Every structure is written in structure tokens, then in C-alpha cells.
Structure 1
Amino acid sequence: MHVVATAGHVDHGKSALVEALTGTHPDRLAEERRRGLTIELGYCWTEWPEVGEVAFVDVPGHERFLTTMLAGVGPVPAALLVVAADDPWMPQAAEHLAALDALGVRHAVVAVTRSDLADPGPAIARASAEVAATRLAGAPVLAVSARTGAGIDDLRAALVAMVTSLPDPDPAADVRLWVDRRFTVRGAGTVVTGTLPAGTVRRGDTLTLGDTQLRVREVQALGRDRESVSGVARVALNLGGRTDDLTRGSVLVTPGAWHQTDVVDVRWSGAGEPPTSPVLHVGAADVPVRFRPLGEGLARLSLPHPLPLRVGDRALLRDPGRRQVWRVDVLDPDPPRLRRRGAA
């Protein structure tokens, strides 16, 4: 399976474009359909002969729902960035692109939508210039119209080429599943969904949430029951055990395989220095942290509760007030304590 996340400003046609590609509308909530606005994460999937199963995580574009957007994009290796031909370059397009860049997403396709309503040339030129200044440089930029179908075949071909170039994750890797949705099914109990970046989850497995062990009763992917699913994949797990603490941002892991830490040393990059109390976005989690500089481009982050982190993990810091983000790379998830002034 391949998983692609959308990104882009509100009302630029992300959901309509996903529907044109898959035949299914990703907005699940009645309120979303009434307002024509994605509020929660949406999911659609299709099967293309060249690459097999392709799932789309459709994220909100409104600035009030940036945290939800980052929860959907965090574990996903590829993106479909959407901008509209009949609008200028908009703030959320810039913020979403900055987030993708900070998270290290290198595989993307840019779709200039509503090309039937305006000349897409200026939007293509602006989007190309903005993307060229990021790690997504070289991503194809294509004009499309979800209403008329113009350019959809070319977009599909570009997406096929993109997912074909993605590296194959290790099916034997330790599982770390960031939960992006939790709900209850009558007669079944607690169900969580998330993007599994690597590893394999099987029916009957035990996963841990902190110190709590949870049993995987059922595994589902793309609407079908499975005996097992390997990443990258969209998965839904029916869990047994004490699930009261499960929320979006919770993380389920292979028992005994991960170091849980509430202090981590990182390398950061971006314009200016992060504030002393930014928000850390990693996987589908967002937590307020204390930022303590250690040197140029180096800092210590203190978390309010432990998370399973490893050397090389990538995340981002965000200042909600300034709408600014910084890239973060984990250098040491078990650093020595600083016990005296100047020890940093």
C-alpha cells in the first residue's frame, strides 16, 4: 500500500480532487458536507494497476485546524500539495509547505486546481518558485480541474511515478503507530486509526501504550479485515484492554522495543530561534515543550510526558502565535541531566 497526504489552503479543492482520483468523497462528517469544509482527517483509497493500493489522507486547510493537519501529515512519506488557479498564493499553502519541508517530506506532486476558472499559468509559476526553495524542489506542478476532469489523468500518472519512487519500509521493524483517530464501534469496542510507517501489525499482537498492554483483536486496512498489515499503510485496529487513555496523538509500540523519554536533545533549523515554550509536533502528537538552547542550532526539549523517540527521528517545533515552524532532528533521546548552571 502507498499513503499520500493532501496539503494546501482552505477551499482550494483538496477534497474534490481526492474524490476525482478515487471516486469517493473523504469528508465523513455531516457538518463537513454542510459547510464544504474539511474539519477532521478524511480517508479515501483506490487501486491503480501500476502500483496497487493507494490511500489518501485528506487534511483540513483552515488555519484553526493546523494541528489536525499535522497529525495527518506527520507519519506520511509523500504529499499532494493543492493550490487554486483563481486565488493568489495563500497563507495556509505557505504554512503547509513549510511544515512539509520541516518534516523532511521529499516526495510530492503539486496540483493547481480550478484551472477551468482561471489561467493556471501564474499559480503554476508561483507554486514552482515556492517549492523550489524547499526540500520538495523538483516536484511536478500540474494544472487540473476536478469539475471537468482536465489534467486528472496526468496528475494520476505523476502520483504513480511518485509512489513508485518511495523507498520500501522494513516489514520487520519495531511498530510505532501514532493514533490520529479514536472511536467506539457498538459490539466491537475501541477502534483506533493511524498511518503505520514500517513494521507489521497482526491480529492477536500485543502493543503498549506507555505501561499499558493492549491486545489487537482485529486488523483492518482500506475497509477490509486482514490477518496482518505491513507499513506503509493506513490501518484500523480494534483493541482490547484498558483503553481509557487512548486519544489522538497517543502512540502504540512494540513492547520493550522503544525508549520512552521526556527529555531529548535535538538539532533545530529555521529562521530565528524558537520561543521558550513552543509546541512539538511528532507523528500525530502535539505537545507543549520547554526549549532550552545548548549551542548554535542545538537545544534540549523537556516534554510533559514520555514519548517513544529514537536518534534520527524528525519532527517540528511550532510557534502558534507567529505561525512559524522549525525543523527538529533527534540527536539524543536519553541525554545526561544538566545538574548545575552552565552545564549546557
Structure 2
Amino acid sequence: MWVVATAGHVDHGKSTLVRSLTGMEPDRWAEERRRGMTIDLGFAWTQLPSGATVAFVDVPGHERFVPNMLAGVGPVPAAMLVVAADEGWKPQSAEHLAALDALGVRHALLVVSRADLADPAPARAQALEHLAKTTIGDVESVAVSAVTGAGLDELRAALDRLGSALPAPDLGAPVRLWVDRAFTIRGSGTVVTGTLGAGRLTAESDLELHSSPVRVRALQSLGSPVSTVDAVARVAVNLRGVERSAVARGDALVTPGRYTFTDLIDVRIHGDPVAGLPSTSVFHIGSAAVAAHVRPLGTDTARLRLARVLPLHVGDRALLRDPGLHRVPGGVTVLDVSPPPLRRRGAAATRAVDLSTMDGRPSPEDELRRRKLVHADELTRMGVTAPGAGWLLDPAHEESLRARLAAEVRAYAEQHPVDPDPPVDAIRSRLGLPDRALVERLVAPPLTIRDGRIGTGSRLPEKLQRALNAVRADLDSHPFAAPEADRLAALGLGPKELAAAAKAGLLLRIADGIVLLPSAPAAAVARLALLEQPFTLSEARQALGTTRRVAVPLLEFLHRRGATRRLPDGRHTVAAPPS
């Protein structure tokens, strides 16, 4: 299917032409038929000589209904510009063409209508001259009369040629269906319609509306139920569990996780100088029309604060319209859908320089360079193909972070000489990183990660080492006589120092304030295995040559390790005597 929007001045015969081509009535409302003019969007379709189907989005031509016109033209890839032979180029002809130009429409057909009332040549020449100055450029033109039928066959053939020249839609692209109508059908619920410009819709598809999940109940295209709709196509979507009041023209159904929902964007303006734009304009994209506060940044770049959130991509084409003057100041290319804040002095000027290098073409390398650190999912939502999964780092920034990490680890070790290996989360916080996995990625030899800490391989301070040597010497001669608290205090061994020694594998802490050599558990089991099984606490204490203060926590330690077992009568037994 090809989808074509009409464009042109009011009462130049757009709807009459569509009616003649399709045999359908595009004007949906009695008021439109009574007044003889299109007020809202109309839709009709027909089969062309090639067998292809063309669907028309018939838009209003009156200046009061330009927002409705833009809602119809916005999502459509091609236009049929209609100019009446007896009236020629008119103000709304110019405004509609300016809108097509601003939106970057490149495929169009000029139709000179009412050729039975005047020579079409002057109107044709005038219109072609205007078209040649826009993105549309040179186009085919056809003169017709809907009254006599003259030229209609030529128009159908020209529409065939226009459709065949359109670029093939990207069926793998994410869906963004801009809603142009929303209504309720009894027994089915809420139905929305729109032009599917890219991607594929299926019944039971999961989509997002206003960042919330919704599900498709059923689909129709050209009035018939279908299970799948491929772009480009007119489609009606029956939504499951969505109230009619929750959706309106200008909303969009999108593929989950594939668009950034934002109300702040940086853009390039094509048209009037940014400095001359009104501070408040209307931002048109798809079928949406949203008030936008304009903050100039560079000569042709600006920041737009939108009145509501929209699902956008880098590279989206839109337009700004000054409703007070009934004109289109310029087209818009979206450069950034997640721009940085401008809080510091000079930030706006710096941002203007950055924007001057951006062209709106999504580039993962450029986004990484600018953002330094970004999650792949965020890039995807921006419309940028992510070069990997998870957190992505700009190579230069990664090297800078690795150097900073090494410096922070050294600083931590200087501040904590007894326990020099910093926790991963402590370094993550110092570097301002969002995920500890990034710290683990940055750690490189000689640094290591073990038990949630970054190992530095640092030697213990000399004073601490001498104190530990003294304790170890005591334990070498009496392995189960854990030093008393006053002995540890005299050596300067408090809880931190003992924890550092245990971490270094120099001592084994079996309870608070009670330390033995790391070999003590195995030696204790060997001695206890020589006792008659089972044995009492007193017998264990005597066999180990120690006090109750040490024997009780040591047996508890051995129980936790599974080396010994406590029996119901309070006695103990070695679980697995050594071989």
C-alpha cells in the first residue's frame, strides 16, 4: 500500500478529486458536506492500474484548520499538491508547501484541478516554480477535471509512478503509530487510527502508550480485519483495556523500549534565524501539535521545552509553526533527545558549539564521545544503534577512569593503612559511576578484585607486622592459648588491626578478640580425635591445653565448619577423624 496526503488551498477540489479517484466520501462529518469544505482529516483508498493500492489522507485547506492538515501530512511519505487552474497559487498553497518542505517531504505529485474552467498551463508553471525551491524539487504534474473526468486516467498512472519511486519501508524498524483519530466501537472498545510509516504491527502486539504498556486486541486495514500490517499503511488498532479518554490525536503507539519519552530536546532549525523565532511556538511531529518554549543556542540551533512528553528519536523531522502569524518559521531536525542541563555559566555557549557539529544522523561513536558513559538501552531508545550491550564507555573516557581508579585506590590505602584494600562500592562512589560492574571492568593488574574489595597487594605497616610476629611467636609455642585482651592492647592490636591480619591470612579470628593461627582448626581436630568419643568440653579444654574462654568459641567454630558435632547430651564428637 502507498499512502499519499493531499495538500493545497481551500476549495481547490482536493476532496472532490479523491472522491472521483476512489468513489468514496472522504468528508466524514455532515458539517463538512454542508459547508463544502474539509474540516478534519478524511480517508479513502483505491486500486491503481498496476494493482497497487493507494490510500489518501485528505486534509483541510482552510487556514483555520492548518493543525488538522499537519496531523495528516506529518506521518505520510508522499503528497499530492492540488492547485486550481482558475485560481492558481494561493496563500494556503504556500503554507502547505512550506509545511511539506519543513518536514523534508521529497516525493510529491502536482495536480492542476478544474482544468475545464481555465487553461491549466499558467497555474502549472507557477506551482512548479514554487516546488522547485523546496525539498520536493522537480515533480511530475497532471491537469485534471473531476467534473468531466479528463486527466483522471493520467493521474492514476502518475500515482503509480509516484508510489513505485517511494523508498521501501523498513519493516524491522520500531513502530511509532501517530494517532489521528480515536473512537469507541460498542463491543470492541477503544480504536485508534493512523499511518504506519515503518515497522510491522500484529494482533496481540505489546506496545507503549504514554510510557505505559498496552496490548493490541485486533487490527483493520482499509476496512478489513487483518492479523498483520506492514508499513506503509493506514491502520485501525483496537486496544485492549484502554479507556477512550486515555488516548487522543497526537498520541503515539510505540514499540516498548525503543523510543525516548521526553519533553526537552535540542534541535536544528531550517528556515528563519533562531534569534527571530517567537519564544513560544507550536511543535508539530506526526499528528502531534505541542506548545514549545524556544531557547536559542546557536545561529540555527535551539533548545525546545515541550508542553508534554513525546516519543522521539535523534534525526526526527518536525516543524515549528507560529500560530499567531499563520506561518511556518522553519523545519526542525532533532539533534538530541536527552540533552545535558545548562546550569553553569557558559554552558549554553559550549552547548551551541557541540550542536554545531551534530547533523541529526544517529551515530553510536559520536554519542559515546559526547556522553562518555551511556547504557546500550538508552542509546536504543534514542534511535541510535548500540555497539554492544550493557554500559558503554568512550575509549578515551575509559582510560581516564582507569587512571582515576588507580589514584583513588592509592588514596584509600593511605587513609586506611591497616585495611588498605577498598570496597568496590567505595571506589564506585568516588568515581561517580552508576554500577559496580563498571568498577570491576576498570580494575587491571596489579590490582585485583576479591570478596567485594579491590586488592592492592600492599604490605602491612612495619609496626603492625612486628606486633603480629610477636603474637604468632606466642601461638607457635602454645597454639590454643589465644592472647588476652591486655596483651593485644599492649601490642597495639585492636579490632581493625586484627581484621587486617585475618584478611591477610596471618591470623584466624574465631570470635571477637580471640585469634589463633590459621593452622589451629586442623591441629585441634587432630588432638580431639585422640580422645575417647564422645568427649566433654572439659576434656576438650584439657586436650588442647587452653581455657574455657578459648575452648567454647573454638568448638563452636569447628561445629560451623562441620569438623565436630554437638550431641543432644551436650557432649561432642569429631565428625570425620583425620586419615
Q: What TM-score range do you get, normalising by the shorter chain?
A: over 0.9
Deviation at 1:342, TM superposition (A): 3.2
Name the structure 1 match of 2:3. 3
- 1:328 alignment partner, one of 296, 320, 332: 332
For 2:12 and 2:344, the matched residues in 1 are separated by 52
For 1:128 and 1:256, the matched residues in 2 are separated by 43
Name the structure 2 match of 1:270. 271
For 1:214 and 1:64, the matched residues in 2 are separated by 34
Task: Please give the secondary structure, in 1, of the residue aligned with 2:147.
Answer: coil
Q: Note closer, same or farther for the CA distance 1:135–1:211 as it changes in structure 2 (3 Å cut).
A: closer
Deviation at 1:54, TM superposition (A): 1.0
1:86-113 Cα offsets, whole Å, 9 max, x none, are: 1142111100000000000000001110
Task: Please give the secondary structure, in 1, of the residue aligned with 2:347.
Answer: coil
How many correspondences in the alignment?
Answer: 344
1:292-335 Cα offsets, whole Å, 9 max, x none, are: 11111111111122211111100000001122211100111111
Name the structure 2 match of 1:299. 302
1:201 aligns with 2:201: yes
Task: Please give the secondary structure, in 1, of the residue aligned with 2:163.
Answer: helix
Whether the aligned pair in 2 keeps the contact of 1:176 and 1:252 (CA below 8 Å) is yes
Whether the aligned pair in 2 keeps the contact of 1:51 and 1:164 (CA below 8 Å) is no
Whether the aligned pair in 2 keeps the contact of 1:7 and 1:79 (CA below 8 Å) is yes
Unaligned runs of at least 5 residues, structure 2: 349-579
For 1:218 and 1:229, the matched residues in 2 are separated by 11
Name the structure 2 match of 1:238. 238
Name the structure 1 match of 2:564. none
Name the structure 2 match of 1:312. 315
TM-score computed with the length of structure 2 as normaliser: 0.58
1:229-287 Cα offsets, whole Å, 9 max, x none, are: 01111000011123332000011111112111111111111134321101000010000
Name the structure 1 match of 2:156. 156
Whether the aligned pair in 2 keeps the contact of 1:114 and 1:144 (CA below 8 Å) is yes
1:188-223 Cα offsets, whole Å, 9 max, x none, are: 111100001001111111211123222111100001
Deviation at 1:341, TM superposition (A): 4.1
272-281 vs 220-229, which deviates more? 272-281
41-50 vs 110-119, which deviates more? 41-50
Point out the structure with the larger strand share. 1
For 1:205 and 1:135, the matched residues in 2 are separated by 36
Alignment of 1:37-56 (within 5 A): 37-56=37-56
1:115-147 Cα offsets, whole Å, 9 max, x none, are: 101111211111111111111111112211011
For 1:180 and 1:82, the matched residues in 2 are separated by 22
Whether the aligned pair in 1 keeps the contact of 2:190 and 2:242 (CA below 8 Å) is no
Q: Note closer, same or farther for the CA distance 1:313–1:297 as it changes in structure 2 (3 Å cut).
A: same
The amino acid that maps onto 1:275 is P
Q: Note closer, same or farther for the CA distance 1:49–1:87 as it changes in structure 2 (3 Å cut).
A: closer
Name the structure 2 match of 1:176. 176
RMSD (Å), alpha carbons: 1.1
Task: Please give the secondary structure, in 2, of the residue aligned with 1:248.
Answer: coil
For 1:242 and 1:256, the matched residues in 2 are separated by 20
Name the structure 1 match of 2:249. 248
Whether the aligned pair in 1 keeps the contact of 2:5 and 2:79 (CA below 8 Å) is yes
Name the structure 1 match of 2:94. 94
For 1:55 and 1:307, the matched residues in 2 are separated by 27
Deviation at 1:154, TM superposition (A): 1.3
For 2:101 and 2:191, the matched residues in 1 are separated by 31
Name the structure 2 match of 1:284. 287
Alignment of 1:13-24 (within 5 A): 13-24=13-24
Name the structure 1 match of 2:115. 115
For 2:207 and 2:84, the matched residues in 1 are separated by 42
For 2:208 and 2:72, the matched residues in 1 are separated by 21
**Identity over aligned residues, as a percent?**
60
Whether the aligned pair in 1 keeps the contact of 2:97 and 2:131 (CA below 8 Å) is yes
Name the structure 1 match of 2:344. 340
For 2:220 and 2:288, the matched residues in 1 are separated by 22
Q: Note closer, same or farther for the CA distance 1:49–1:84 as it changes in structure 2 (3 Å cut).
A: closer
Deviation at 1:177, TM superposition (A): 0.6
For 1:175 and 1:22, the matched residues in 2 are separated by 28
For 2:216 and 2:88, the matched residues in 1 are separated by 47
For 1:62 and 1:255, the matched residues in 2 are separated by 37
For 2:211 and 2:313, the matched residues in 1 are separated by 18
For 2:183 and 2:30, the matched residues in 1 are separated by 16
Larger Rg: 2
The amino acid that maps onto 2:285 is V
Q: Indicate the structure whose relative CO is greater, using CA pairs within 8 Å and at least 6 residues apart.
A: 1
For 2:34 and 2:326, the matched residues in 1 are separated by 28
TM-score computed with the length of structure 1 as normaliser: 0.98
Task: Please give the secondary structure, in 2, of the residue aligned with 1:295.
Answer: coil
